[in-house]
Chains A and B, each alone.
Chain A
Amino acid sequence: DIVMTQSPDSLAVSLGERATIHCKSNQTLLYSSNKKNYLAWYQQRSGQPPRLLLYWASTRESGVPDRFRGSGSGTDFTLTITSLQPEDVAVYYCQQYYTSSWIFGQGTRVEIK
């Protein structure tokens, strides 16, 4: 089974500063035939359902601010919030969709320092 591991579990960043979240898979999420990484990122604010931020590891969902950037390939991925805003306080999850089982990382809590 694919296992997704995020780091850190939580981080506190000053407003306007960069927040970086890592996601590691124990199997490649890069599909060789189309060269796409089957990874998505979500934001979950308190009391809300998750919100899709990125898919194909780096493609922003419509309406998502460009301060959210995804990178990485294969087994190692990164979500970067380039300039943290108050509304970015949330838990962030990565999810693999290489297989039909929706496996998420354990989540990373982002707070304001």
Chain B
Amino acid sequence: QVQLVQSGHEVKKPGASVKVSCKASGYNFNTYGITWMRQAPGQGLEWVGWISGYDGTTNYAQNFQGRVSMTIDTSTNSVYMELKSLTSHDTAVYFCVRADSKSAAGWGRFWGQGTLVTVSS
């Protein structure tokens, strides 16, 4: 069965960077991309961006352009999301999600468990 397992809770100081991992299993990693979403405490869902599992092509949300970087490691079927220049507004649960389409557009059928990133001085 499809599983997405994310790395654990991170605590960072303002201005630092964080790198969250998402290890995929149960499907052909090259076939589907991974979308990253985030959810601030008590808030809704915000799209961060998408990366292709085939060739690492990325599509970032405008709000995160220049601050986010997504990469893949096909040897371990893992996806990484790095967010730089953190502020308290980046405190959120970050989810990796696999859609049912090969492109960036689609619905989120499989979700990771979420990674809480806390930014605090």
Point out residues on A near B: beta carbons under 8 Å: 38, 40, 42, 49-52, 55, 61, 93, 95, 97-107
Contacts and interface: CB of A to CB of B under 8 A. Distances in A.
B28 interface: no
Contacts of B50: 100
Contacts of B104: 100
B47 A50 contact: no
Interface in B76-120: 95, 99-101, 103-109, 111-114
Contacts of B113: 49
A11 B36 CA distance: 29
Interface of B, secondary structure class, is: loop
Given A49-B111, A49-B113, A49-B114, A103 B47 contact: yes
Contact of A61 (B37, B44, B95, B109): B109
B108 A93 contact: no
Nearest to A104: B45
B45, B61, B112 pick with most chain A CB within 10 angstroms = B45
B95 to A, nearest CB: 6
19 contacts: A42-B108, A49-B111, A49-B112, A50-B45, A52-B109, A55-B107, A61-B109, A93-B44, A93-B45, A97-B105, A100-B50, A100-B105, A101-B47, A101-B61, A102-B45, A102-B108, A104-B45, A106-B44, A107-B45
